[in-house]
Amino acid sequence: MSTELIWASASELAQRISNREVSPVEVMEATLERASELQAACNAFITIDGERAIAAARKAEKEPPKGPLHGVPVSVKDLCNTADLRTTFGSLAYKDNVPTADCVAVARLKAAGAIIFAKTTTPEFGHKPLTEAPIFGQTLNPWDLTRTTGGSSGGSGAAVAAGAGPIAVGTDGGGSTRIPAAACGLVGMKQSLGVVPHDQTPEVFGLLAYVGPMARTVADAGLMLEAMAGPDSSDPHSLGRDIQGISKAAAEPLDLKGLKIGWRTYLGNSLIDSETLSAFEANLKILESLGAILIERNDPFENTLPVWGPLTFSIWACRFAHVEEKIGEGMSATLRHWMKEGRDYGAVDVQRAMETRTLLYRQIQSWFTEVDFIATPTLACPALPADQNPFGAVIINENEAGGLRDGWYPYTHPFNLTGHPAITLPNGFTNKGLPTGGIQFVGPWLSDTRLLSLSATFEAAAKIPTLRPKLS
């Protein structure tokens, strides 16, 4: 296995393949070998489609470049439909499900030349931030096999962090791309609502979920996002969302002189890990050294779980009732628990949450009349223990910090509710060698290109050490 190839960026691989300096077959063989090692150590894949991936690489080897990702391996979270390739949604009810068509985002990645080699693990229907499900077991963090990858795009996070492909598709309904990206030391983006069409949701008008990129570099995240973005008739939020220059923006730093960046240490929480806080404070100094004007935002902000919960749990109670009826205890106990909670909400509770969602949007949008971007931590602490009780307290600095959603990642789901673009970047390592939990940048609606440029600037200046997880 070529270590040079497995740690190369998607941008570099695409260029070298285009120049015929390396064969797509060589790249795919190295990727599949690394995927096999990762699977044995971390259990990151539900399906590895090696034979067809090699066949596709051989075909790409003979063809002229068909797009900016020609010959580049990509793995796809198993919530996204892939034509003729098993898509289980992490559920025993769909263990033999083979879609006849790709979802829009996957079809566009293929059109850009990317080659799907695997489907990555997800908790059943992506319902929690710990990646485990009855159909495959548990996914472990490649940096520390006693820790979780986070979720729900945990398999994608483990794959990219460990060198099993340079990019992966994630989804984000409350932080599900950004949480594992932060826990695994990656770039993960939730773009503005509608930038990437979501054609799989049965109810699109109250959309909270996004399909987005996971990568090791900002440039690769931008390359991937540009391939997936653009209007599609299946998603009304995407109509008119024809953003140009995404990939270019992700590769070109932004001049931060005079740029106003609001920052918040807390976002409806009260505890943050000491090493996570130190990393965040160091990151702010980097931004200031580049000429940014830092403005602390300490106006009151309530934890958004009481808004996100009624909307999300009631959706699950409706959407997956037929699955629960079909497989009963074969469904994840945690999903059944939160579906029951969803059924217990009344219509007025859900309507009140919808109205509060609008107020939340207006509150956050008002921040951008005073600042250009917002910076927060992504997680309140590094990756949690793999045996974390989903209903138990998160322990931070030896104190109970609340539950998973309100205590560990209060920073992510506000922006699923409001539609603002948000991206997490690696921001350092703890004394034990774990990623510190990421820094998150948030921008006003449809500022995706400038947000990527800001991220590229930070990435270049921060010079985070290039460490690689050692699989055992």
Catalytic positions, written as ranges? 77, 152, 176
Instruction: For residue 6, give the nearest of 125, 26, 122 by alpha carbon.
Output: 26
Question: How far apart are the C-alpha atoms of 5 and 21, rounded to whole Å?
Answer: 12
Q: Which residue has the tokens 């609001």?
A: 262
Alpha helices in 345-447 (DSSP H): 347-367, 413-418
Reported in sequence order, the residue ranges of 365-429 that DSSP labels E, i.e. its strands, are 373-377, 395-396, 399-400, 422-425
Reported in sequence order, the residue ranges of 240-398 that DSSP labels E, i.e. its strands, are 260-263, 293-296, 373-377, 395-396
**How far is residue 215 from each of residues 60, 85, 168, 280, 468, measured CA to CA in Å?**
22, 23, 7, 21, 14
Cα atoms in the Cβ-side hemisphere of radius 13 Å centred on 455? 36
Question: How far apart are the C-alpha atoms of 445 and 155, rounded to whole Å?
Answer: 29
Question: Please, what is the end-to-end C-alpha distance for the chain in angstroms?
Answer: 16
- Indicate the angle between helix axes 50-62 and 24-42, nearest 10 degrees: 160
Question: How far apart are the C-alpha atoms of 129 and 135, rounded to whole Å?
Answer: 17
Question: How far apart are the C-alpha atoms of 178 and 378, rounded to whole Å?
Answer: 7
- The amino acid sitting at 263 is W
- The amino acid sitting at 308 is W
- The amino acid sitting at 56 is A
Question: How far apart are the C-alpha atoms of 437 and 428, rounded to whole Å?
Answer: 8
